Amino acid sequence: MLTSVISNKSKFYNSEIQYSSSLGDTLKILHAFITTPRLDPTPIKPLPVNPINQQTLCQPTNDCLYRLGHSSVLLSIDSKWILTDPVLSERASPVLWAGPKRFHPSPIAANELPYLDVVLISHDHYDHLDKATIQAIAHKVGLFVTPLKVGERLQNWGIAADKIIQLDWWQSTSVNGIELVATPSQHFSGRGLLDRDQTLWSSWVILGAKHRVFFSGDSGYFSGFKSIGERYGPFDFTLMEAGAYNSLWRDIHMMPEESVQAHIDLRGKYMIPIHNGTFDLSMHPWYEPLERISEISSLRNIQLITPSFGQLVELDSPPINHLWWKADSISNTQPTRFEQVIEDIVKEQNNG
């Protein structure tokens, strides 16, 4: 069985690669950010956002979900509300005046969120764990479910210990009849210079009475997806990381073709790409992850769902692929330059 810990609980490790970034690696990445020519790093016009509030949310008896931005997904399953990696602030940053800024407002304000039975956290990076959001919603949250040691950060922010459940990989808990399983991912953690890998990172399995959902958090591609699929699949929906990638850090963030392969490994039915469209965290055009995932999925016969932010996705009748990012009012260009590259990649995989 995969385990997150090699020697003790003071530091956590990946199961397949020991990711570390030396000063040289950091300088190489910094140089790439400074020197790489940028095409459409941010939208030129406002993105389509469907505002939602407690009155317009789907009926609690209907399993549904909404993308709020980046990896924040509001999910109703078995009449219970679950919110993943809530980041509603303007920036994913330790300070208010600098750092990656949202392309779009959140479709729902913190004070309009329903009572949340569970807030599910994948890891402690700023684009997944936002102190201001946690403190703003804490009064309407039943339980925060986190990987090991992440809950201690929440306690330091004033969250009561009895409202926090912390799990190691393959451990599970049941909340109001919904089983939540912390499953492996290939990533790292830390919010500063001196706390690298002192908290655990994970993906999550969400098992309702009718629907099975996988939430990837952040991860490079690894054999763990196949292991999770064998133990808990098939999944009705995979909320799959697909964005902020680059070959310089593909050990910890999947390239688009790897995101699709992970969905296949998990034995997923519908794939919803997340971790895109909200923050500029890499060097690709803001729309490229959605474009590439859409093209690869079409070539590999994957059922893809790409809701705009705040768009209702009913789990019993999910919408067809919505190419909202192609609107002339949003992008300078309609990217097709990836198509031949993607076809070559798929052909190579199929022949291999």
CATH 3.60.15.10 fits 56-351, yes or no: yes
Structural domain boundaries of the chain?
56-351
Give phi and psi for 110, each to the nearest 5: -55, -40
pLDDT for the residue numbered 201: 98
Q: Which residues contact 129 (CB under 8 A, 6 or more apart)?
A: 85, 87, 121, 123, 150, 153, 191
Residue with tokens 């699929």: 229
Residue with tokens 């300088």: 27
Rg of the chain over CA atoms, in angstroms?
19
Give phi and psi for 207, each to the nearest 5: -115, 105
Helices (runs of H) and strands (runs of E) counted in the chain: 7, 14
pLDDT for the residue numbered 274: 98
Q: Six-digit token pair at 102?
A: 């949202």
What tens-digit pLDDT sequence spans the chain (352 residues)?
Answer: 344 544 455 899 999 988 766 556 666 767 777 778 888 999 999 999 999 999 999 987 899 999 999 999 999 999 999 999 999 999 999 988 889 999 999 999 999 999 999 999 999 999 999 999 999 999 999 999 999 999 999 999 999 999 999 999 999 999 999 999 999 999 999 998 889 999 999 999 999 999 999 999 999 999 999 999 999 999 999 999 999 999 888 999 999 999 999 999 999 999 999 999 999 999 999 999 999 999 999 999 999 999 999 999 999 999 877 899 987 546 554 444 344 444 454 555 555 5
Q: Which residues contact 252 (CB under 8 A, 6 or more apart)?
A: 19, 186, 187, 188, 218, 219, 220
DSSP calls for 174-211:
EETTEEEEEE--S----SSSS-TTSS---EEEEE-SS-
DSSP calls for 237-274:
EEEEE-SS--GGGTTTS--HHHHHHHHHHTTEEEEEEE
Q: Six-digit token pair at 307?
A: 């809701």
pLDDT for the residue numbered 336: 40
pLDDT for the residue numbered 42: 93
d(CA 147, CA 201): 6
Q: DSSP character for 139?
A: G
Q: Which residues contact 207 (CB under 8 A, 6 or more apart)?
A: 178, 179, 180, 181, 232
Q: Which amino acid, residue 245?
A: Y
CB atoms within 10 A of CB 151: 21
d(CA 151, CA 130): 13
pLDDT for the residue numbered 1: 34
DSSP calls for 285-351:
-TTHHHHHHHHHHHHTT-EE--PPBT--EETTSPPPP--GGG-TTT-SS---TTHHHHHHHHHHHHH
Measure CA 223 to chain center. Answer: 19
Contacts for 163-167: CB closer than 8 Å, 24+ residues apart: 163/138, 167/202
346: nearest Cα among 290, 264, 240: 264
